[in-house]
Amino acid sequence: MTNSLTTPAVSVVLQRLLSSEQAGDEAAVAAVLDAPHSPWDLDAGQRADVFKDVYMSVSGAGGQLLYLLARATGARKVVEYGTSFGVSTIHLASAVRDNGGGTVITTEMQRGKADAALGNFADAGVADLIELRFGDARETLAELPSVPDLVLLDGWPDLALDVLRVLEPNLRAGTLVLIDDVTADFGRDVHGALLAYLGDEANGYATMTVPIGDGIQVAVRL
């Protein structure tokens, strides 16, 4: 049995990224929030540039959960909204590799982060499993080559419902949908519409919140 998360290439890169986040994210976020204008009043592209140095990654435990759920569901076709520096993407790609191979399609709209993520994928030895699409996920994920087994929504939370609606025509019964940071304090209610949508059975999901990190919402398409 194989767990790619424990291989030297993957574990070293993930530890480096998570350590860098722990050391620098608090100050980077504080600098953004101290700016004269709220980042939530900016459009997605402007906000991405303001947050260019902020990791905003899935937690270490959250990454482990992503890996476990992807392995448990045998996911080989994964779609991710929000690459950042690639922490969650590497966890998902490791699971896809251990499931027999496949593709993680991910998207990032900040050029510096996209370039850094590509380097991290190469360093971790998982670049062959990842397709990074640069731009707004509401556009870059409009067309997919196949039905995804698992979807991770980990980009700007106030846009996540829009991204989900873009993806819905491609989802099947049993597709797992995960949303990170649903209990985090963003200074305003940025997840409410998405959580209400998933919680309404008329929209075709069963869902619950898992108290790991800043909360991970787990939903399955019915």
pLDDT tens, 117-166?
999 999 999 999 999 999 999 999 999 999 999 999 999 899 999 999 99
Tell me the average pLDDT across 71-82. 97
Three-state SS for 105?
A: strand
Asked whether residue 187 carries a pLDDT value surpassing 70, the answer given is yes
Cβ-contact 121, 90 below 8 angstroms: yes
84-110 residue pLDDT tens: 999 999 999 999 999 999 999 999 999
The predicted pLDDT at position 36 comes to 67
Tell me the average pLDDT across 192-214. 96
Q: Map out the domains of the chain as residue ranges.
A: 4-221
The predicted pLDDT at position 138 comes to 96
CA dihedral 209, 211, 213, 214 (to 10 degrees): 50
CATH number of 4-221: 3.40.50.150
Asked whether residue 32 carries a pLDDT value surpassing 70, the answer given is no
Asked whether residue 65 carries a pLDDT value surpassing 70, the answer given is yes
Cβ-contact 87, 63 below 8 angstroms: yes
- pTM, full prediction: 0.93
